[in-house]
Structure formats: structure tokens, C-alpha cells
Chain A
């Protein structure tokens, strides 16, 4: 392809440049569906719709695991002590400062809902383990407290809180 440097672009040069450009546009347009097809398909997206979880069977101090969009979600019915532990913390001492209030819903402070995926490299932490009795990741030793906040170990951030809301006092909708 000749892209003439000087000012005397001939008609032939223009034709070559035009043809080459159209070919390049065509190649790019053809590549798009070949790559875009890897995104989640319609049935996967539809299956990722919000789920409802009944909290009634979860007893005091119990944590259950449910799945939403293929991710494990911990729903923890925290004891008074666990809530107090989470709230009586010097924020400045946290690697990723967040209050427990920010991580729970008003009026439902005993309920902690977090995505059970360690923010280090994606393992599933174990509930009610570790020195803060919150979550402990067995892969590389990250320790989370009863609010799911990172306290020590290689994980950079707190366990994320998924989008959810209380449909009633004993039922939440995740997603």
C-alpha cells in the first residue's frame, strides 16, 4: 500500500488507500462477533437473576452458604458478641477501613451478607475461624473479622457485600 509522503497524491494512491481502508474496516468488523461471542450468553445472564433466601431457619450464631451467579454467599446470623466485636474496632487499625454499619443494613445489624471469595486469589474462606473468629482463608492465611473485613494476611480488601435487600424481616433478595 502506497501512502505517498509528498503532496502529489495521485488517483491511484487514493484508490489503494481506500481499498486498504475498507479491507481493514471489514476485518475489524468480522473480528468483533468472533470475540464478543465469549461473553455470557442470554441463558447465563437470565440464570443470574436475583434470588430470595429465607432467613428463618438460620439460628443464632449460624452461618450458611448460598450460591448466586456461581459465587458462594455467606449469610451469617451474628451473635450479640460478634456484632459488638465488629463495632468496637478502631477504624484506623483496619487495612481497608469500613464501619460495620456500612456493611450491614439498618435495623438488621445481626445479619452479615458477604461474598465468600477471598479478595487475595479467590479461595473460599472458612466461617467462624481465625484469630478474629470471622473468616479464615486456608489458601494463603488471610484473616477476616466478624464483619468480613480484612485484618491480616495478603488479601488487600474486605470481603465484598453483594447487592441485597430485606424483602421482609426473615427474607432477603440477593442481586
Chain B
């Protein structure tokens, strides 16, 4: 955005505007003529990818806000309404929810790239600090966004994070009350978080403009870390060279993104967030989203409330001081043999912290977290200051042009390989589900017709499952997100509209008030939802020995179990996401008449092998021959369990078939597009070498 514009418009309209508002010149000098170092590698494409993700998040977010209701009674319902009823709502929500994770993956790569190549050094200090500010804003935005669906993790995340401020001496409690707008996290909190979540992306966009401005004043750093000496030899114009390269990288990144959106949309999420917020019950292990885990580990490593909070925020703030902590003249770690090694140690420590953040805060994990926390700060406060005084750097190339000549193609490939490895490792470190030491055996993995990239629901199975829900489960459990009309939806149990209407007709639904002001009962209609067996939670509890039979609509997504370290990485590739169905099915079959010796079963409870803690209030619901099947399927508990579980998977994810179908089309398109972009990029760059 500085003055090396060579823009000479010929079109008279553009000329006329340009004399009054030189906007075309600005765009031309910033994104067309702007000289970029010739030797940039693919790590430099993440700035563009981040802009893309900011755009995707803002667009999908503005649309989601059209359908979302920021009220404690409606937030969870409206999110389900988006996913179930809004046209392409499931796509928009999954794009937005996974988009946040993709945004953070890209920003972490972008930051580590800056750390490795010394992009924070003179004259780019302000550019770097603006980046730290963007990162802080992103964290605040991501946190508030996670609160909006108003699930259990939303609510308890909001409670824990706002309580961080209570650590501030004297005024902490008042600040927390101010943030909440009440005496606890409640409707005012949700409402203001929604408002701020909508505002902050635009603040980010504003700081991004400053970030890009500062970048274009100082010029881009590059892998050699030497400044541009001869613009002719050392640089190429932004368009077409950087544009096409960034474009190719963006398409590859979208392929990665689409893998999650269409095939594993809940992999990076927590099952608990499919349980509506309950201010009375904290989930057994509450963990933040994966991208906060390293800082969460630092928070928990310090055995003092204020100390933990200070350490956590310092871990981010220290980045802003990096340009002065590391005073080495050589920018790129490529020519700093020691700094290079310490960089990789630092990366590993960050990943380790992320992994520890997802583990329960006990035993060896706490000790490891303390060591890693110490090292995290030592890297900035001890290692880098010392290195910059004692390290003997290798000779840097004379110019960028020399660096290009010295380089061969293999390096770039190695770079991409490392990039993928780091991305994978970041996941390894952080996506870990903390529901670890719950006890109890792991549910066996069953074969599900809906598993895998081409999995579909088995219609007869869904129909049998519906029968079991109707004849058995519905005595106690509601299914309140499902309407009778859904039975005739595409990708569902395969009834037609008339059958769904006839099914609804058999139910009595409360309606009213009528002209006389009275409530009355009428026959169900397709638009009605399955009626609940109890009028309210208290009635349900009193009829069930104090336990509340949960709504089953989302059950197959609201339960999970830990898959363990190597396995869940494999799941990422095999697209395994059937923890919920495995658990539900195992639970239904997991009753034992006699608890094992030494197990003290409370009165009114039953022993279940797979239920956390084994003592469940629900009596064994299914027994052989209880429900009659017309299609000759075995009338056994095992078959019943599988059928009703498959049905519940459909109620939890009714558009799964449409999602996988569209996913295949999108993946195919992106793969072709990526290929074309690759060859176009090669053609364009052929001129540059």
C-alpha cells in the first residue's frame, strides 16, 4: 500500500474515478504490482489462506445469525433448527464450526513460520505485534462463538473462562459480574456474547488491514531472511506469481477443510456440546476447544489461581516482546544451527502442552505440564536471548536471487512433507478427548451401514428402530427435535408423506387455547413433533426415581468415549465417527443381572457394564421377543439395540446422506480444480525461472 504504483489507467471511466479516489491504483500497487520475494516457499501461502478463512467465517456467520436466536431457551433449539430445517443449514453450520478450527490451524502454521524465519525482526516488529493482536482477537471470538450453541461445553466453557477474571485482586468479582450481567452465566451473558461474536470478526478484519499495510511497507520476509537488494532480480510481481501460488494452496487447504465438513463434521467437537446447557451439572471433564489446549495446560500447571491466569495470558503476551528478546542479526533459522534445533524443541513442547491440556489435571500430567510450561517461557526468556549472543550463524546468501539459484526442487517437496507432518502432529497433540479415565470397558465397534464415506442408512432398519422407540423407549424418553413429517424426509426411514401423516394421526397432541380459552387434544399432524411422555422435567424425575430420562433426538452424537492416541489419528483417515452408536448399542446390551462381587449397587439402580460408573437408573429396557418384527429379522436384544441405535443416529444426523453425497461432489471438484491450479501455477512460474 505504499507508493511504488505504476498504474496508468487507459479506460476513461477508471481515469475519472482514479483522479478523485485512487482506489484502483491502491489495489494495483498492493495486489498486482507489489513485489514479492522470488524465493518464498509454501509456508508463505498461509497469510492468503487466513484471509480466505476470515472471509468464509464472516459470510457463513452472517448467514447463521439470520437463523439463530440468542436466548437461553431457544439457542440450542435454533441451532438444531438450522441443522435440520434450514435449506443447506447443516452445511453452513458445519462450515462455520469447522472453519474456526481451520482458521486456527492456519494461524498456528503462520505463526510458527514467522518464528522459524525470524519474520518478527527489524523492521517488522509492528507487523508482528499486529499479528499477536489478531491472534488475541481470534481467541476471544472463537471462545464466544463456542458459547452460542448453548450446549454443556458452551455453558461451562463460558463459566470457566469468565471466572478467570475473578483472579484479579480486589476488582475481580466485580469484573466477572460485569461480564455476566447477572449473578451467573445466563441469558444476558449469552446475548452479549452473541453481539460481541458478531462484532469481533470485523475488528479482526480491521487489524488485518493494518497488518497487510505494515507488511507492504516493510516488505515480506523470505526463507533466506535477506532483504531485497535488486527488485528486478530478487522479486516477482504479486500478480500473477503470488496470486496463483496462494490460490493453489487455498484449494489444497479447502480439500483438507472439506474432509472435515462433509465426512467428520463433529471430530473436532465435543460430544457433550450436543447436551443442552445445564447449570446444575458440570461435565466430568471439561476441556476447551483444541486450539486453546496449550494455554489451558499452562493455566492448570500453576497451583495458584492468580498465578495460573497470569501465566496463561503471559504465554501469549510474551510473543509481543519477541522482537527484542531475540536480538540475533540473522533472521532465518536456516542459517542458525542452534536456533533451528531449539525451534523444533519449542514446537514439540507446544504440542506436548496441547496434549496435556486435554488430559485430566492429575498425577504425572501435572508434573509434565509444569516442566513444559517452564520450558515454554524459558524458550523466550532464556534460550533466545542467550542464543542471540553466543550463536555463530552460517553465512547467509548475498541476495534472494542467489538463494533461488542455490535451491533445488527437492527442498520444496520436503517443505510440504514437513508441513503435513506438523499439521498431523498438531492434531496428535491437541484433539485428544479428555474423557479418559472414566473407567469401564470400551464399547465394541459394531458394523454400521452408515459408516464410512459412502455409508447410508438402512431403511428397513430405521423403520424397525422407530418401532422400538415407539413401543419401548417412548414410555420415558422424548424425541422432541423430530417431527412426524421427518419420517418422510429424503435419507430417512423411507416412508411417504401419507404414511407419515397416518403415523402422526395415531398420536394425541396438545393444542390450544381454543375460542373458549381452553387447551384441547387433537390428532397429530405431520408438522407436529413427537410428543414428550412427561409434561416437564420435574414430572419425568418424579416418575423415574429422581433420574431424568434424556431426550433421545441427539443421543447418538451426545455420547462418546476415548479412542486413545494412535487410534484417533487413524480415525481421521478412516473417517471413523461411530463412538456414539457403539456406546448406545453397547449400553442397551450391557446390563448384568448380578453386579460383580464387591460392587456396591445403590438401591433403585441397575448394573450396566458400559455406563460410566456402572450404576444406571434405567432398568433393562429390552428383552428377547419383546417387539414383534414383521420382516423376519431376529427378535433379539442385540438386533433391537442395533436397530434403535441406527434410528437414533438418523434422528441425530438426519441429513447425513445428503452431506456425504454433496461431500463426494465437492471433493471431486476440488481435486480437479487443485490439479488445474497446480499446472497453471507451473506454467506461470516457468517464466520466472
> A39, B676: Cβ atoms under 8 Å?
no
Contact A41/B669 with A12-B683, A49-B525 known, Cβ cut-off 8 Å: no
Contact A41/B81 with A19-B677, A36-B87, A46-B483 known, Cβ cut-off 8 Å: yes
> B81, A33: Cβ atoms under 8 Å?
no
The answer to the question of A166 belonging to the interface, with a C-beta cut-off of 8 Å to chain B, is: no
Stretch binding the partner chain, chosen from B88-96, B308-316, B359-367, B620-628:
B88-96
Interface of B is mostly: helix
**What's the Cα separation between A38 and B62 when bound, in Å?**
12
The answer to the question of A67 belonging to the interface, with a C-beta cut-off of 8 Å to chain B, is: no
Contact of B63 among A15, A19, A34 (CB under 8 A): A34
Contact A49/B680 with A37-B63, A43-B85 known, Cβ cut-off 8 Å: no
B676 contact set on A, CB distance < 8 A = 15, 18-19, 22
Contact A57/B92 with A15-B679, A23-B673 known, Cβ cut-off 8 Å: no
**What's the Cα separation between A90 and B558 when bound, in Å?**
69
> A37, B673: Cβ atoms under 8 Å?
no
The answer to the question of A26 belonging to the interface, with a C-beta cut-off of 8 Å to chain B, is: yes
Closest B residue to A21 by beta carbon equals B676
Shortest C-beta distance, A24 to chain B (Å), equals: 11
Contact of A49 among B85, B527, B683 (CB under 8 A): B527
**What's the Cα separation between A12 and B67 when bound, in Å?**
46
> B669, A34: Cβ atoms under 8 Å?
no
The CB with the most chain A CB atoms within 10 A, among B84, B87, B91, B683, is that of B87
Contact of B84 among A39, A42, A47 (CB under 8 A): A42
> B85, A42: Cβ atoms under 8 Å?
yes
The answer to the question of B485 belonging to the interface, with a C-beta cut-off of 8 Å to chain A, is: yes
> B63, A43: Cβ atoms under 8 Å?
no
Interface residues on B, range: 20 to 34
**What's the Cα separation between A39 and B677 when bound, in Å?**
34
Shortest C-beta distance, A5 to chain B (Å), equals: 18
The answer to the question of B526 belonging to the interface, with a C-beta cut-off of 8 Å to chain A, is: yes
The answer to the question of B390 belonging to the interface, with a C-beta cut-off of 8 Å to chain A, is: no
> B92, A37: Cβ atoms under 8 Å?
yes
Residues facing A in B516-571 (CB within 8 A) are 525-527
**What's the Cα separation between A34 and B63 when bound, in Å?**
7
> A41, B87: Cβ atoms under 8 Å?
yes
> A33, B88: Cβ atoms under 8 Å?
yes
Residues facing A in B41-73 (CB within 8 A) are 59, 63, 66-67
Shortest C-beta distance, A102 to chain B (Å), equals: 32
A46 contact set on B, CB distance < 8 A = 483, 485, 526-527
The answer to the question of B232 belonging to the interface, with a C-beta cut-off of 8 Å to chain A, is: no
Closest A residue to B86 by beta carbon equals A41
> A37, B87: Cβ atoms under 8 Å?
yes
B677 contact set on A, CB distance < 8 A = 19
**What's the Cα separation between A36 and B92 when bound, in Å?**
11
A34 contact set on B, CB distance < 8 A = 59, 63, 92
The answer to the question of B630 belonging to the interface, with a C-beta cut-off of 8 Å to chain A, is: no
> B66, A38: Cβ atoms under 8 Å?
yes
Cβ proximity bits B75-105 to A, threshold 8 Å, 1 near / 0 not? 0000001001111110110000000000000
**What's the Cα separation between A137 and B91 when bound, in Å?**
44
**What's the Cα separation between A46 and B85 when bound, in Å?**
10
Shortest C-beta distance, A165 to chain B (Å), equals: 18
Contact A26/B84 with A15-B680, A33-B91, A47-B527 known, Cβ cut-off 8 Å: no
Closest B residue to A39 by beta carbon equals B87
Residues facing B in A4-22 (CB within 8 A) are 12, 15-16, 18-19, 22
> A37, B683: Cβ atoms under 8 Å?
no
> A26, B669: Cβ atoms under 8 Å?
yes
Contact of B86 among A19, A23, A37, A57 (CB under 8 A): A37
Shortest C-beta distance, B186 to chain A (Å), equals: 27
The answer to the question of B600 belonging to the interface, with a C-beta cut-off of 8 Å to chain A, is: no
B66 contact set on A, CB distance < 8 A = 37-38
**What's the Cα separation between A39 and B476 when bound, in Å?**
36
The answer to the question of B217 belonging to the interface, with a C-beta cut-off of 8 Å to chain A, is: no
A19 contact set on B, CB distance < 8 A = 673, 676-677, 679-680
Residues facing A in B648-677 (CB within 8 A) are 669-670, 672-673, 676-677
**What's the Cα separation between A42 and B486 when bound, in Å?**
9
A49 contact set on B, CB distance < 8 A = 525-527
B679 contact set on A, CB distance < 8 A = 15, 19
Contact of B89 among A16, A26, A29, A37 (CB under 8 A): A37
Closest A residue to B91 by beta carbon equals A33
B89 contact set on A, CB distance < 8 A = 37, 41
Shortest C-beta distance, A20 to chain B (Å), equals: 9
The answer to the question of B515 belonging to the interface, with a C-beta cut-off of 8 Å to chain A, is: yes
> B483, A43: Cβ atoms under 8 Å?
yes
**What's the Cα separation between A5 and B92 when bound, in Å?**
41
> A37, B672: Cβ atoms under 8 Å?
no
B485 contact set on A, CB distance < 8 A = 42, 46
Shortest C-beta distance, B531 to chain A (Å), equals: 16
B84 contact set on A, CB distance < 8 A = 42
Shortest C-beta distance, A4 to chain B (Å), equals: 14
A26 contact set on B, CB distance < 8 A = 669-670, 673
Closest A residue to B686 by beta carbon equals A12
> B673, A22: Cβ atoms under 8 Å?
yes
Shortest C-beta distance, A51 to chain B (Å), equals: 10
A44 contact set on B, CB distance < 8 A = 85
B81 contact set on A, CB distance < 8 A = 41, 43
B526 contact set on A, CB distance < 8 A = 46, 49
B91 contact set on A, CB distance < 8 A = 33
A16 contact set on B, CB distance < 8 A = 680, 683
**What's the Cα separation between A47 and B89 when bound, in Å?**
18
Closest B residue to A54 by beta carbon equals B515
**What's the Cα separation between A22 and B86 when bound, in Å?**
28
Shortest C-beta distance, B183 to chain A (Å), equals: 35
Residues facing B in A39-69 (CB within 8 A) are 39, 41-44, 46-47, 49, 57
Shortest C-beta distance, B476 to chain A (Å), equals: 26
Closest B residue to A57 by beta carbon equals B515
**What's the Cα separation between A12 and B682 when bound, in Å?**
11
**What's the Cα separation between A15 and B240 when bound, in Å?**
15
Closest B residue to A47 by beta carbon equals B527
**What's the Cα separation between A38 and B526 when bound, in Å?**
23
Cβ proximity bits B99-138 to A, threshold 8 Å, 1 near / 0 not? 0000000000000000000000000000000000000000
B86 contact set on A, CB distance < 8 A = 37, 41-42
Shortest C-beta distance, A77 to chain B (Å), equals: 16
A57 contact set on B, CB distance < 8 A = 515
**What's the Cα separation between A119 and B150 when bound, in Å?**
43
Shortest C-beta distance, B61 to chain A (Å), equals: 12
> B85, A41: Cβ atoms under 8 Å?
yes
B683 contact set on A, CB distance < 8 A = 12, 15-16
Shortest C-beta distance, A104 to chain B (Å), equals: 25
> B483, A33: Cβ atoms under 8 Å?
no
**What's the Cα separation between A23 and B681 when bound, in Å?**
14
B85 contact set on A, CB distance < 8 A = 41-44
> A22, B525: Cβ atoms under 8 Å?
no
**What's the Cα separation between A22 and B672 when bound, in Å?**
9
12 contacts between A and B (CB under 8 A): A15-B680, A19-B679, A22-B676, A33-B87, A33-B88, A37-B87, A41-B85, A41-B86, A42-B485, A46-B483, A47-B527, A57-B515
Chain A positions within 8 Å of B, measured between CB atoms, are: 12, 15-16, 18-19, 22-23, 26, 29, 33-34, 36-39, 41-44, 46-47, 49, 57
- Known interface pairs A15-B680, A49-B525; 9 further A-B residue pairs with C-beta atoms within 8 A, sorted by A's residue number: A12-B683, A19-B680, A33-B87, A37-B87, A37-B89, A38-B66, A41-B87, A42-B84, A49-B527
Chain B positions within 8 Å of A, measured between CB atoms, are: 59, 63, 66-67, 81, 84-89, 91-92, 483, 485, 515, 525-527, 669-670, 672-673, 676-677, 679-680, 683
Q: A-B pairs with the 10 shortest C-beta distances?
A: A33-B88, A46-B527, A42-B85, A41-B85, A19-B676, A43-B85, A41-B86, A19-B680, A37-B87, A46-B485
